[in-house]
Amino acid sequence: MSEIREELIPVLGVVTDIRKDTPDVKTFRVVTPEGQKAFKHMPGQCAMLSIPGVGEAMFSITSSPTNEEYMEFSIKKCGCLTDWLHQMEVGQMVTIRGPYGNGFPVETELKGKNLLFIAGGIGLAPLRSVINYCRHYRDQYGDIDIIYGSRSMDDLVDFKEIQEEWCTEDGINVHLTIDRPQEGWDGHVGFVPAYVNELNLSLDKTILICGPPIMIKFTLQNLQALGFERTQVYTTMELRMKCGIGKCGRCNIGSKYVCKDGPVFRFDQLDELPDEY
């Protein structure tokens, strides 16, 4: 039985870099003790990170699969484990297992499409992996539009990368917005759902959206009013998870386990399931 992978037994990771993105989000770089990437993954897939004795939880792998050196996780401080992770220093070991979930269909349904990414707050984490993947294989995808909103300028995750890399690249249009006016901000002010209406979006886009449930709800309503179909919109779901492999029975939406059949769903697929999320 030695060749069977022990799915619940994690491998070790070492935190090699910590970046403070916002007052409550930090991005952690993780490699194995040998300095390798812990495993291969696809954009939108997740991993279980743990500190023994504190807890284990699921996080999106925010770095792109095309990064062969390390994985990154952008983590919002909101409880036992995430508080602990925010206190740690470079060199701290964590445990890691994965990859889990289906990921975005970058090799199939998204190929050749004009893509519109819509993110709110920490919701950028899973989308960042797709964006950087598509940038790497630039000729395989059409135009890229990114709408990203957060409470304030200081709450934009990965602001440096957005400004220095995404904003400067041809064929990528970045539309940033913050909730309220702020000194030093000359960009757009207002909520994401309203911003979507102002942008004069062409209807040929395939949309990937992630953020707070309330933002998703109103943005989706506006997109549909503009003429987008639910079959054009993908999102990634967040439910309580313990196993990550469809066995602990915790993360289901109807007959689907989000950890295994998701976390990425198209809205027409969600329409067939109970709206218990």
Partner 1 sequence: MLKIAVNEINRLFDAIAAVENLYLPVEKGGEVEFGAYSADAKVRLDALQTVKSAKDMFFPFSENLMKFHVEGKQISVEAAEKVNEEFVVFGVRACDARSFSILDKVFLADPVDTYYAARREHGVVVSMACSRPEETCFCSAFGIDATKPEGDVVTWVADGVLYWEAQTEKGAALTEKVAEVLAESDSAAVEAQQAAVKAIMEKLPLAGLDLSYFTSRPELEIFKRPEWTELSSHCLGCGTCTFVCPTCQCYDVRDFDNGHGIERYRCWDSCMYRDFTMMAHGTNRKTQVERFRQRFMHKLVYNPKNRDGEFGCVGCGRCLKKCPVNMNIVKVAKTLSAGGEQA
Asked whether 234 and 271 are in contact (CB, 8 A), the reply is no
**Dihedral over alpha carbons 14, 38, 248, 233 (to 10 degrees):** 110
Q: How far apart are CA 42 and CA 25, in angstroms?
A: 23
* Distances in whole angstroms, Cα of residue 58 to Cα of each of 46, 134, 202, 246: 6, 24, 35, 13
By beta-carbon proximity to ligand FES, the closer residue of 121 and 262 is 262
Segment 256 to 275, residues that bind ligand FES, using CB under 6 A: 257, 259
| 233: contact with ligand FES by CB under 6 A | no
Residue 81 CB, nearest approach to ligand FAD (Å):
3
Asked whether 166 and 131 are in contact (CB, 8 A), the reply is yes
Residue 133: which residues within 8 A CB-CB, separation 6 or more? Answer: 43, 64, 65, 66, 106
| 47: contact with ligand FES by CB under 6 A | no
Q: How far apart are CA 124 and CA 60, in angstroms?
A: 10
Ordered DSSP codes for 107-168: TTTTTT-EEEEEEEGGGHHHHHHHHHHHHHTGGGS--EEEEEEESSGGG-TTHHHIIIIITT
Listed ranges 22-30, 107-115, 156-164, 251-259: which one lies at the site for ligand FES (CB under 6 A):
251-259
Residue 263 CB, nearest approach to partner 1 (Å):
13
Residue 212 CB, nearest approach to ligand FES (Å):
21
Q: Using the structure block, give the residue that is written with the tokens 């990859």.
A: 99
Residue 231 CB, nearest approach to partner 1 (Å):
18
| 249: contact with ligand FES by CB under 6 A | yes
| Residue 263 contact partner, candidates ligand FES, ligand FAD, partner 1, none, CB within 5 to 8 A by sort of partner | ligand FAD
Q: Using the structure block, give the residue that is written with the tokens 């797709």.
A: 130
Site size for ligand FES, by CB under 6 A? 12
| 178: contact with ligand FES by CB under 6 A | no
| Residue 125 contact partner, candidates partner 1, ligand FES, ligand FAD, none, CB within 5 to 8 A by sort of partner | ligand FAD
* Residues at the interface with ligand FES (CB under 6 A): 241-244, 246-251, 257, 259
* Residues at the interface with ligand FAD (CB under 6 A): 46, 55, 57-60, 74-76, 78-82, 122, 125, 238-239, 241, 263
